[in-house]
Amino acid sequence: MNKIKLTLAASAMALGATAAFAQDNPMVGGAEMFADRNIVENAVNSADHTTLVSAVQAAGLAETLSGPGPFTVFAPTNEGFDRLEDGAVTQLLEPANRDQLTQTLTCHVVDGAVTAEALTGMIEADGGQHAIPTLGGCTLTASIADDGRVLITDENDNGAFVTIPDVNQSNGIIHVIDGVMLPKQ
């Protein structure tokens, strides 16, 4: 087996072990996540996602992300938002920038429920990188880093690692990430 296949196999096993834990209501941001609650109902309880929740509310997306889906959300943590330039979050949350905020947020949302196992399979099948079209019109790229973690990269080459995969929701799946994906600039 070559190095890429060994890394992918190790990643799939690690993500599979984490996915098994995810089915037992993992803790995210100090709160238990329940598979019978929707994306918004769970996210509002995570102390690590207060910026994301505020942004979703400001963009008027709470109703959509509470809908039937299914959706896959790459959910940036507060620390991920902190990695943006100073003042970027404040600027995005201004009412005049609602369209830009909406596009930024929907660049984290994929139609359908994509598990970590399925995603790593797609990465392997595509030779190490898999393009992910989002509802915001962005194309994210998923790959496996040298250390075995799943890396999500936006069209500006900003990267974020999946830190908690397969957080099951009644209307999809959340993969917690440590950065923010931005529309092409």
| pLDDT 10s digits, 39-70 | 998 899 899 999 999 999 999 999 999 999 99
Q: What is the pLDDT of residues 19-46, one digit of tens each?
A: 433 346 688 888 888 888 889 988 998 9
Q: What is the pLDDT of residues 66-106, one digit of tens each?
A: 999 999 999 999 999 999 999 999 999 999 999 999 999 99
Residue 82's alpha-carbon distances to 34, 51, 148, 157, 182, in angstroms, are 27, 9, 25, 17, 14
Q: What structural domains and CATH numbers belong to the chain?
A: 3-177 (2.30.180.10)
The confidence band for 7, taking pLDDT boundaries of 50, 70 and 90, is: very low
CB-based burial of residue 169 (10 Å sphere; 0-12 exposed, 13-18 middle, 19+ buried)?
buried
What mean pLDDT, rounded, does the chain reach?
Answer: 86
